[in-house]
Amino acid sequence: MLNSFSVLETPPVPVCAFLTDDAGAIVNYAAEGAACGLESALVTLVEIRGGTARALGAQMAVRGDGSYCGYISGGCTEAAVAAEAIAAISKGTDRYLSLGEGSRFFNISLPCGGGITLAIHVVRDVRPLRQVLAALEGRRRIALHYAPGTQTITAVKAPTGAISSWSDTAFIRVYRPNLRLILCGRGIELEATTRVAMASEFEVFAFDQTSRDFEASIIDQETAIALLFHDLDQELPWLEAGLRRKPFYIGALGSKRTHERRFQALSVMGYSPAQIDRIKAPIGLFGPTRDANALALSVVADVAQAFFMSQN
């Protein structure tokens, strides 16, 4: 039964349930809301005109009781969007909503000066959302195919290299597992980089030179490997594990001269120049750094940039 209200009743007041940009958390909030009888809507950013604070495909989840999570702008319009989603839930019908440039809501402006169009989908079938969550849990890419004409969503395999966009008359929202960062090293550099990466909400695995529980199977296409050793011999087994698989990033500590030695050692081991060129060395977005905290920021920023560039 729809969570509807009569014309004499006051619609629920939108209230942010929690702050998140995590796609899995947003999809789960919509799925749980629909499953528990509150009814819910999934709001997706499907068009951008000019500048905007969020990328195409950004989402919010709104429940019939007025609670919501996620962002489709910089936080200035989310409550108003939630109110529109609540109205859509009460009527049981999907709708589009335009904000900013070209919108009928003259009192809602975007700080960036552009305009956006949102697709508000009233969730009628939670199975596609559950399929998305299962795929993310299994660290597989997946997509939601939203067909406005039939007001339906379907879970589909994400095409290789695909990004969230329109395909004919449907919008394809692509989901990727969260960034996984494998840190290998020792001492204060490893400790500081682990701390910064965890604060950035990466999925972090940290190993030092005494670790014996590393499994190469945890390396997938959403994984970055950062080697923070000062010893070429200690890093070689980790480098080999990375080069045999397909992480989106491999970086190693050391000077250009150190990397020349690394190149020679790997060449002797049978790796081609193209394979070795996958290694970012010296590691980091900026450098050289002279303390552990600066190195940690440089490494985490470099990994984040590489991850986001790989999905655009």
Q: Is the model's pLDDT at 101 over the cut of 70?
A: no
pTM for this entry: 0.89
3-state secondary structure of 257: helix
In tens, the pLDDT along 198-214 reads 999 999 999 997 877 88
> In this structure, how many other beta carbons lie within 10 angstroms of the beta carbon of residue 211?
11
d(CA 66, CA 139): 31
Q: Could you give the CA distance from residue 158 to residue 222 in angstroms, rounded to a whole number? A: 14
Q: Kindly tell me if the per-residue pLDDT of 5 is higher than 60.
A: no
Inter-residue contact 119 to 96 (CB < 8 Å): yes
Which residues does 297 contact at the CB level (< 8 Å), separation at least 6?
A: 196
Q: What is the pLDDT of residue 102?
A: 57
Q: Is the pLDDT of residue 106 over 50?
A: no
Identify which has the larger pLDDT, 272 or 161.
272
Under the banding of pLDDT at 50, 70 and 90, the label for residue 88 is very high
Q: How far is CA 279 from CA 220, 233, 243, 248, 276, in A?
A: 16, 16, 9, 10, 6
CA-to-CA dists, residue 9 to 6, 12, 43, 219, angstroms: 5, 9, 24, 53
Q: How much is the pLDDT for 16?
A: 98
- Say what the pLDDT of residue 105 is: 53
